[in-house]
Amino acid sequence: MRAATTSEVSRSSASRPALSLVPGLATYDAAVAPHTGFEDLRLDTDPVTLREIVADRQPLTAILDAVEEALDESADEDRAERSRLHGQQCVLLRLLGDLDGALVAGRLSLRYSGDDSALVTVAGVRLAHVHQWRGEYQVADGIYTQALEGAPDGYRSFACLHAGKSRYEQGDADAAIRHFENAVRLRTSGPADLLAAAEQALDAARRLKTDMDLSGL
């Protein structure tokens, strides 16, 4: 199995915080054995759209190959590992533009999550994110709401951030601001890159609200 090396991982720029694709607790995706390289991946975030920037597809493709090989080798009864691996597959396929494949992977991740609240939250958010990118906002927002209701400590900020991005894309600045403020509040003691991503999103939503207010004058 080939996992992407450190040199292949996207780097952050001075103007945009690089967003970790590992949510909440840094050990979530690192719990997958064998190592796929997913937990090392960092992507820049566009400050206007708040979507990840894929400057080079090759590292993502290499990690996806490692994830899919790990899935082939994973025992069906190891539901937690399969949920995590399908979740990684879901994210990578979404970023590579295969939204149909990402939808299937996201549903499988949620199916394997069982009653583990952390697995259910992350799988739900990743599935909702696919629906969001497909423009299926009502479905996405419903899944985000369910994820927020059941999110355990350490994962609520992750869910708030992504729920806010959906509202932001729909032009609902007030709802986005509420979600992003909660994400910042919940991340004040977390990793610096995750806090920076939440603060960046909050700044963007506040700019959106200002622009909307000015357009009504």
Measure the CA–CA gap between 119 and 122, rounded to whole angstroms. 5
Measure the CA–CA gap between 96 and 133, rounded to whole angstroms. 12
pLDDT at position 215 is 66
In this structure, the strands spanning 18-20 and 42-44 are: antiparallel
CA-based nearest residue to 190, from 144, 160, 155, 164: 155
> What is the residue whose two structure tokens read 């539901």?
79
Please, what are the domains in the chain? 6-215 (1.25.40.10)
pLDDT at position 9 is 36
Q: How far apart are the first and last CA of the chain?
A: 59
Mean pLDDT in consecutive groups of 10 residues from the start of the chain, 217 residues:
36 50 57 76 91 95 96 89 95 98 98 94 97 98 97 90 97 97 84 83 96 69
Distance of CA 147 to the CA centre of its chain: 13
Distance of CA 212 to the CA centre of its chain: 27
CB 10 within 8 A of CB 42: yes
pLDDT at position 52 is 94
